[in-house]
Amino acid sequence: MTVLEVTGLRRSFAGLRAVDGVSFTVEPGEVVSIIGPNGSGKTTALNLVSGVLRPDSGQVTFQGRDVTGWRPERLAAAGLSRTFQNGRVFGNLTVAENVLIGLTPTLQAARPFSRWRNVPVLRWASLLAETAVALVDPPAVRRELADRQAKVATQLDRFGDRLTPRADLAAHTLSYANRRRTEIARALASGPALLVLDEPTAGMNPAETGEVLEQLLELKAAGQTILLVEHKIDLVMRLSDRVLVLDAGSVIAAGPPEQVRSDPRVIEAYLGKRRPAVRP
Amino acid sequence: MLDTALAGLVNGSSYALLALGLSLIFGVANVINFAHASVFAVGAMSGWWFSVDLDWPLWAVLLGVTAVTGLLGLVINVIAVTPLAKAPPIAALLSTFAVSVVVDNGAQLVFGPETRRFPALLATDNLGLGGLRFGTLDVTILVVAIGLMLVLGWFLRASRYGRAIRAVAQDRDAAAQMGIPLARVQNLAFVIASVLGGVAGVLGGMYLNNISPTVGSTVGMSAFAAATLGGLGSLPGAVAGGLLLGVVEAFGVSWWGGNARTLITFAVLLIVLWVRPSGLFGKRAPLAAEPMTGTFFGAARTVRLRPWQVAVAAVAAYVVPAVALDDYTVQIGVQVVVYAILALSLTLVSGQAGQISLGQAAPLAIGAYTSALLTTATGLDFWLSLPISGVVAAVLSVVLVSPSWRLRGHYVSIATLATGLLVAAAAVNFDWLTNGPSGVSAIPPPTLFGASVSAPLAVYFLDLTILLVVLLLVVRLRRSTLGRIWSAVREDEVAARSSGIAVADYKSLAFGIGGFVAGIGGALFAQQYGYIDPSVFGISVSLLALTIVVLGGLNSPLGAVVGAIVLVGLPEALRMLQETRMLTYGLLLLAVVLFRPQGLMGKVAR
Amino acid sequence: MSLLELDSVSVFYGQTQALHEISLVVEPGEIVCLLGGNASGKSTTMKTILGLITPRSGEIRLAGERVTRSAPAARIRRGLASVPEARRVFPEMSVEDNLLTGAFTRRTGIRAELASVYESFPRLAERRRQPAGTLSGGEQQMLAFGRALMSAPTLICMDEPTMGLAPIFVDRVLDLIAALNRDRGLAVLMVEQNAELALSIAHRGYVLNTGHLVLDGPAPSLIDNPAIRTAYFGA
Ligand SMILES: Nc1ncnc2c1ncn2[C@@H]1O[C@H](COP(=O)(O)OP(=O)(O)OP(=O)(O)O)[C@@H](O)[C@H]1O
Ligand SMILES: Nc1ncnc2c1ncn2[C@@H]1O[C@H](COP(=O)(O)OP(=O)(O)OP(=O)(O)O)[C@@H](O)[C@H]1O
Ligand SMILES: [Mg+2]
Ligand SMILES: [Mg+2]
Which one, of C67, C49, C66, C59, lies nearest residue C7 by Cα?
C59
Q: What is the 3-state secondary structure (H, E, C) of B324-374?
A: HCCHHHHHHHHHHHHHHHHHHHHHHHHHHCCCCCCCCHHHHHHHHHHHHHH
Model pLDDT, residue C96: 92
Report the chain B residue with the minimal C-alpha distance to residue C137. B290
Residues C36 and C10 in one domain: yes
B369 belongs to a structural domain = yes
Could you report the per-residue pLDDT of B477-505, keeping only the tens digit for each?
998 999 999 999 988 888 999 999 999 89
B284 falls in which pLDDT band (50, 70, 90)? Answer: low
Task: Note whether residue B194 is domain-resident.
Answer: yes
The answer to whether residues C56 and C100 belong to one domain is no
> Does ligand 1 come within 6 angstroms of the Cβ of A39?
yes
The pLDDT of residue C187 is: 93
- Residue C61's DSSP bridge partners are C5, C66
- The residue among B97 and C9 whose pLDDT is bigger is C9
pLDDT band at A45 (very low <50, low <70, confident <90, very high): very high
- Among chain C residues, the shortest Cα distance to A268 is held by C168
Task: Give the residue with greater pLDDT, A16 vs A97.
Answer: A97
Same domain, C65 and C115: no
Angstrom distance (rounded) from CA C231 to CA A180: 20
Contact predicate C117/C99, CB 8 Å: yes
Angle at C21 between CA C20 and CA C25, to 5 degrees: 125
Assign 3-state DSSP to chain B and report helix, strand, coil percentages, each to 5: 75, 5, 20
* Band (A151; pLDDT cuts 50, 70, 90): very high
Confidence at residue B291, expressed as pLDDT on a 0 to 100 scale:
44
Does B400 have pLDDT greater than 60?
yes
Q: What is the dihedral of CA B545, B551, B554, B558, to 10 degrees?
A: -90
Same domain, B466 and B560: yes
Q: Is residue B417 located within the same domain as residue B349?
A: yes
Amino acid at A61: T
Q: Around Cβ C28, how many Cβ atoms within 10 Å?
A: 14
Q: In terms of domains, do B256 and B379 share one?
A: no
Which distant-in-sequence residues (6+ apart) come within 8 Å of B591 by Cβ?
none
* This prediction's pTM: 0.85
Q: Which has the higher per-residue pLDDT, B1 or A76?
A: A76
Q: How many CB atoms lie within 10 A of CB B110?
A: 12
Query: Nearest C-alpha to atom 3 of ligand 2 is from which residue?
Result: A173
pLDDT at B285: 54
Whether A216 contacts A185, CB under 8 Å: no
Mean pLDDT of chain A: 89
If asked whether residues C158 and C228 sit together in one domain, one would say yes
Per-residue burial over B251-286, b if 16 or more Cβ lie within 10 Å, else e, is ebbeeeeeebbbbbbbbbbbebbeeebbbbbbeeee
Min Cα separation B559/chain A (Å): 19
- Give the pLDDT confidence score for residue B606 in this predicted structure: 36
End-to-end CA distance of chain C: 38
Identity of the residue numbered B25 = I
**Residue B504 domain boundaries:** 328-575
Probe target for ligand 1 pocket from A9, A16, A50, A83, with the most ligand atoms within 8 Å of CB: A16
Distances (CA, A) of C35 to B450, C40, C188: 79, 9, 14
Position with higher pLDDT, B493 vs A271? B493
C174 found inside a domain: yes
Determine the atom of ligand 2 nearest the C-alpha atom of B296.
Answer: 1
Residues 6+ apart with CB under 8 A from B196: B17, B18, B20, B21, B24, B148, B152
Among A99, A101, A180, A188, pick the best mutation site for testing chain B contact (most B Cβ within 10 A): A101
Nearest-neighbour CA in chain C from A49: distance (Å): 17
Alpha-carbon distance B548 to B344, whole Å? 9
In this structure, the answer to whether residues C72 and C103 fall within a common structural domain is no
Evaluate if residue B367 carries a pLDDT over 90.
yes
Kindly report the three-state secondary structure assignment for every residue of C89-156: CCCCCEHHHHHHHHCCCCCCCHHHHHHHHHHHCHHHHHCCCCEHHHCCHHHHHHHHHHHHHCCCCCEE
The number of domains in chain C is 2
**Per-residue pLDDT tens for B111-123?**
888 888 887 777 7
Instruction: Please report which helix (H) or strand (E) contains residue B559, including its range.
Output: helix B557-573
The answer to whether B347 and B513 are in contact (CB under 8 A) is: no
Which of A179-188, B40-49, C77-86 has the least mean pLDDT? C77-86
The pLDDT of residue B536 is 87
pLDDT tens digit sequence for B146-170: 888 888 888 888 888 888 988 887 8
- The region that residue C30 occupies, defined by phi over 0 for left and psi between -120 and 50 for alpha, beta otherwise, is beta
Number of C-alpha atoms within 13 angstroms, CB side, residue A74?
A: 17
Most confident of A273-277, C37-41, C97-101, C168-172: C97-101
Per-residue DSSP letters for B137-177? Answer: HHHHHHHHHHHHHHHHHHHHHHSHHHHHHHHHHH-HHHHHT
Look at residues C152, C167, C195 and tell me which one is the last residue of a structural domain: C152
Q: Where are the domains of chain A?
A: 4-271
3-class SS of residue A65: strand
The pLDDT score that the predictor gives to residue B294 is 35
- The pLDDT of residue C27: 92
Q: Residue C234's pLDDT band (boundaries 50, 70, 90)?
A: low
The Cβ of residue B125 has, within 10 Å, a number of other Cβ atoms equal to 12
Q: Which of B425, B418, B366 is nearest to B396 (CA)?
A: B366
At B243, which CATH number?
1.10.3470
Q: Measured between alpha carbons, how far is B286 from B200 in angstroms, rounded to an integer?
A: 36
3-state secondary structure B414-482: HHHHHHHHHHHHHHHHCHHHHCHHHCECCCCCCEECCEECCCHHHHHHHHHHHHHHHHHHHHHHHHCHH
User: What are the E-state strand segments in chain A?
Assistant: 4-13, 16-26, 31-35, 57-62, 65-66, 80-82, 194-198, 226-229, 242-247, 250-255
pLDDT value for C172: 79
Domain range for C137: 90-152
Q: Number of structural domains, chain B?
A: 2
Is residue B367 in some structural domain?
yes
User: In sequence order, what are the residues at sequence separation of 6 or more whose Cβ sits closer than 8 angstroms to the Cβ of residue B234?
Assistant: B23, B279, B281, B282, B283
- As for the ipTM of the complex, it is 0.91
Amino acid at A234: D
Provide the mean pLDDT of chain B.
Answer: 84
The reply to whether C16 and C129 lie within a common domain is: no
| pLDDT given at position B297 | 44
- Whether the per-residue pLDDT at B605 is higher than 80: the answer is no
Phi and psi of B529, rounded to 5°?
A: -90, -25
User: Cα distance from B119 to chain C (closest Cα, Å)?
Assistant: 44
The one-letter code for the residue type at C157 is C
Distance from CA of C129 to the nearest CA of A (A): 12
User: CA of B354: which chain A residue's CA is closest?
Assistant: A92
Q: Which residue has the higher pLDDT, B100 or B602?
A: B100
C74 and C158 inside one domain = yes
Chain A touched by B469 (CB under 8 Å)? no
- Fill in the DSSP letter of residue B532: B
DSSP state of A90: -
**With respect to CATH, is domain A4-271 assigned 1.10.3720.10?**
no
Q: Do C101 and B167 touch (CB under 8 A)?
A: yes
Question: B606 and chain A: CB distance < 8 Å anywhere?
Answer: yes
CB within 8 Å of A38: residues ≥ 6 apart: C123, C136, C137, C138, C139, C141, C142, C164, C165, C166, C169
Which residues' Cβ are closer than 6 Å to ligand 2? A 173-177, 203; C 13, 18, 36, 38-44
User: Do B388 and B472 reside in the same domain of the chain?
Assistant: yes
Query: Phi/psi of residue A52, each to 5°?
Result: -70, -35
Q: Is residue C176 part of a domain?
A: yes
Residues B276 and B29 sit within 8 Å (Cβ to Cβ) = no
Domain-embedded: residue B570: yes
Q: What percent of chain B has pLDDT over 70?
A: 94
Report the Cα–Cα distance between both ends of chain A, in Å, rounded.
Answer: 56
- From B226, B522, B527, B490, select the one nearest B349 (Cα to Cα): B490
Show which of C105, C120, C152 is a domain's final residue: C152
Q: Does B575 touch chain C (CB under 8 A)?
A: no
Q: How far apart are CA A239 and CA A278, in angstroms?
A: 31
DSSP annotation of B403: G
What's the pLDDT at B516?
97
Q: Rounded to 5 degrees, what angle do the CA atoms B180, C84, B190 make?
A: 25
Task: Give residue A278's pLDDT.
Answer: 41
Q: For the segment B43-55, what is each residue's pLDDT rounded down to a tens digit?
A: 999 999 998 888 8
SS (H, E, C) A231-255: CCHHHHHHHCCEEEEEECCEEEEEE
Q: What's the CATH code of the domain at C184?
A: 3.40.50.300
Contacts of A25 (CB under 8 A, 6+ apart): A2, A4, A5, A6
Query: How far apart are alpha carbons B46 and B43 in whole angstroms?
Result: 5
- For the segment A203-232, the average pLDDT, to the nearest whole number, is 89
Closest CA to A212 of A246, A245, A188: A188
pLDDT band at residue B283, thresholds of 50, 70 and 90? low
The β-bridge relationship of strands C31-36 and C187-191 is parallel
Q: What element of type H or E holds B133?
A: strand B132-134
Do B98 and B106 meet the contact criterion of CB atoms below 8 Å apart? no
Higher pLDDT, B4 or B78: B78
Q: Tell whether C181 and C216 lie within a shared domain.
A: yes
Residue B299 lies in a domain: no
The verdict on B408 and B556 lying in the same domain is: yes
Instruction: For residue B365, count other CB atoms closer than 10 A to its CB.
Output: 31
Model pLDDT for residues C97-145, shown as the tens digit of each residue: 999 999 898 888 889 989 989 988 888 898 888 888 888 777 888 899 8
Ligand 1 site, residue A38, Cβ cutoff 6 A: yes
- Does one domain contain both C73 and C101? no
* Neighbours, chain B (3 or more CB pairs < 8 A): A, C
Give the pLDDT of residue A279.
40
| pLDDT for the residue B368 | 95
pLDDT score for B602:
66
User: What CA–CA distance (Å, rounded) separates B534 from B426?
Assistant: 9
Per-residue pLDDT band for B511 (boundaries 50, 70, 90) equals: very high
Backbone phi and psi for residue B435, each to the nearest 5 degrees, phi listed first: 65, 20
- A248 alpha carbon – ligand 1 mean position (Å): 10
pLDDT digits (tens, 9 = 90+) for B320-344: 888 877 888 888 899 999 999 999 9
- Measure the CA–CA gap between C43 and C11, rounded to whole angstroms: 12
In 3D space, the residue among B157, B173, B200 whose CA is nearest the CA of residue B41 turns out to be B200
